[in-house]
């Protein structure tokens, strides 16, 4: 089983939202992703999608986007991003997901010897910002719940999904990254960053955790393969190519 990841798909949610307003490189972006996906991913592989999946505001319009992803090969694991307003109660969502699509929400799932867990995360709070501090602290609690669930599942590899980066710009440690170290996480997959913000992203080993920034524009709309598994090494640093793209 190979493990791929790609985040921030920003599918239209039934409104045909034109993504090229964020730069010409976004035009027809999902067609390019789908073509690369079909060329690289088999039905036995795992694809991690760490949030910002659809612009839809309600679940019903988002289902078309989820079905488009569902028609592609592999087992897909999705996580909520800051733009996924359509994400409803987890039980309801799991009832309507396409076959071979799984939603993570403060819990964990095991696929073979690999355990996937995670939570959305939040922006690192600035000093004195009580609201961001409240949300960030709550996300830390949710992450620890998820990591505790993962520990109970065993497995030989632990992968965390976040939407927001666990590290601050340039790889500065945070309370969240310290939590990942404490639970001996192998890999952390995240997105959220676009354009100039990608310059501060970390992809590679930091401390004892391998970090993977998988925002789709940072990947040039190609699938990112995590190191390990049958395929061996990853993409030769595709995720580290930080083009000056317009931020979402």
| pLDDT (average), residues 120-137 | 93
**Full residue range of the structural domain in which residue 7 is found:** 3-233
With a cut of 60, say whether residue 77 has pLDDT above it.
yes
What integer best gives the mean pLDDT of the chain? Answer: 89
In a domain, residue 244? The reply is: no
Cα–Cα distance for residue pair 58/70, rounded to 1 Å = 18
pLDDT of residue 210: 97
Cα–Cα distance for residue pair 119/122, rounded to 1 Å = 9
| pLDDT (average), residues 17-34 | 79
In a domain, residue 248? The reply is: no
Domain count, the chain: 1
In a domain, residue 246? The reply is: no
Count of CB atoms within 10 A of residue 236's CB? 8
Q: Residue 65: which of 18, 25, 15 has the closest Cα?
A: 15
In a domain, residue 223? The reply is: yes
- Give backbone dihedrals phi and psi of 138, rounded to 5 degrees, phi first: -65, -40
**C-beta separation of 201 from 178 below 8 A:** no
pLDDT of residue 199: 84
- pTM for the model stands at 0.90
The pLDDT tens digits for 190-218 are 999 888 888 888 899 999 999 999 999 99
Cα–Cα distance for residue pair 227/245, rounded to 1 Å = 26
In a domain, residue 239? The reply is: no
What is the token pair recorded at 2?
């190979």
CATH number for the domain including 38?
3.60.21.10
């Amino acid at each position: 089983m190979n493990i791929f990841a790609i985040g921030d798909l920003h599918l239209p949610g039934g409104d045909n939202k034109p993504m090229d307003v964020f730069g010409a490189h976004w035009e027809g972006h999902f067609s390019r992703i789908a073509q690369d996906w079909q060329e690289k991913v088999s039905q036995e592989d795992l694809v991690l999608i760490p949030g910002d999946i659809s612009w839809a505001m309600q679940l019903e319009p988002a289902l078309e986007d989820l079905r488009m992803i569902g028609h592609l090969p592999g087992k897909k694991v999705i996580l909520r991003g800051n733009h996924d307003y359509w994400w409803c109660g987890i039980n309801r969502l799991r009832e309507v997901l396409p076959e071979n699509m799984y939603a993570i929400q403060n819990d964990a799932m095991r696929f073979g010897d690999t355990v996937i867990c995670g939570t959305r995360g939040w922006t690192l709070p600035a000093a004195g910002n009580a609201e961001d501090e409240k949300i960030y602290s709550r996300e830390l609690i949710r992450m620890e719940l998820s990591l505790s669930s993962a520990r109970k599942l065993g497995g030989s590899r632990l992968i965390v999904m976040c939407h927001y980066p666990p590290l601050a710009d340039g790889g500065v440690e945070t309370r969240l990254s310290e939590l990942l170290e404490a639970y001996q996480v192998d890999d952390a997959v995240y997105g959220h960053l676009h354009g100039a913000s990608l310059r501060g992203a970390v992809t590679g080993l930091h401390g004892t955790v391998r970090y993977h920034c998988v925002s789709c524009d940072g990947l040039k709309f190609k699938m990112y393969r995590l190191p390990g598994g049958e395929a061996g090494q990853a993409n030769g640093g595709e995720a580290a190519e930080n083009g000056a793209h317009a931020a979402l």
